[in-house]
Chains A and B, each alone.
Chain A
Amino acid sequence: MPGPAREVPVIVKVKDTPPAELLRCPEAPEGFPLAEIGQLSTATRAAAIRIGKAMGVNAGRLRRLVNWLQPDTCRAPAAAPAATTKAPG
């Protein structure tokens, strides 16, 4: 006469972890060598800025998503270049 199973909650938390591949932090490849390319047309510069900005925004969003699914996995890249930019006026 076994009693009903005890300690079995009706609502169970399901761990729905995505594959590890989807939880990889966005890659941050090494950037362009500084001042190697000296001239680009205005339109090309604008396109480069558009692409670069979208890349940064997407990476930031992916980082937030991964951190939402697995806290403290991805860190924002150190804003190292920021220091060098401000130097010359």
Chain B
Amino acid sequence: MIALGLKLWRAVVGGREWLTLVVVAAIGAFLYVQLAETRADRDRLAAQADLICATAGEPFAASVVLVGDKPIARERGLRCRQRVADLVAFRTDTERASAEVLAAAMREREGKAAVDARAARDAAQALTSATERMEIADAEAERRNRLDRDWWTAFNDLAGLRSPNR
């Protein structure tokens, strides 16, 4: 057992240059594979960025923008980022403004409904009392077979007519 170990040690010490080469080659191969994967990953991400930015409506690539007459360089991704920020702000503002409009409409409706409920109650009361007066006056007219001022007053009131000047 010990003899075998010694033999292996000697072989390693004897073939040192060769072994170093193998180790370096292995590391190189590992790094090469890593780099290839990283590149592929980066290309996929760049393609994704292009696609996302195109969807948002601005290019991802660096570009030059004219502000008035002055050409201004925009770094890669800046326009796209601003665009996305604008869209997010737009969405937030829109939702808030819409909620405000809806809330205001609901408040207005509630107020109207309350006012109308009061008007309906008053109208119903007025109708009931006008009808009662009309019935009393009509019974009197039936009894006396004669229409007096009361009957016509009750009638004008029931029909919502203005009282005559005479």
Contacts and interface: CB of A to CB of B under 8 A. Distances in A.
A60 B79 CA distance: 63
Contact of A31 (B87, B101, B127, B161): B161
Interface stretch (B23-31, B43-51, B117-125): B117-125
Interface residues on B, range: 35 or more
Given A11-B98, A45-B141, A85-B153, A6 B133 contact: no
A35 B127 contact: no
A38 interface: yes
B59 to A, nearest CB: 10
- Main secondary structure, interface of A, reads loop
B123 A31 contact: no
A5 B89 CA distance: 10
A32 B155 contact: yes
18 contacts: A3-B90, A4-B86, A9-B101, A13-B104, A28-B160, A30-B161, A31-B164, A32-B155, A35-B152, A38-B146, A40-B147, A42-B142, A52-B156, A56-B130, A64-B120, A67-B115, A82-B129, A85-B157
Interface of B: 58, 65, 79, 82-83, 86-87, 89-90, 93-94, 97-98, 100-102, 104-105, 112, 115-116, 119-120, 122-123, 126-127, 129-131, 133-134, 137-138, 141-142, 145-150, 152-166
Interface of A: 1, 3-13, 26, 28-40, 42, 45, 48-49, 51-53, 55-57, 59-60, 63-64, 67-68, 71, 76-77, 79-82, 84-86, 88
Given A31-B159, A52-B159, A55-B160, 7 more contacts: A1-B79, A6-B89, A11-B101, A30-B163, A56-B158, A56-B159, A77-B160
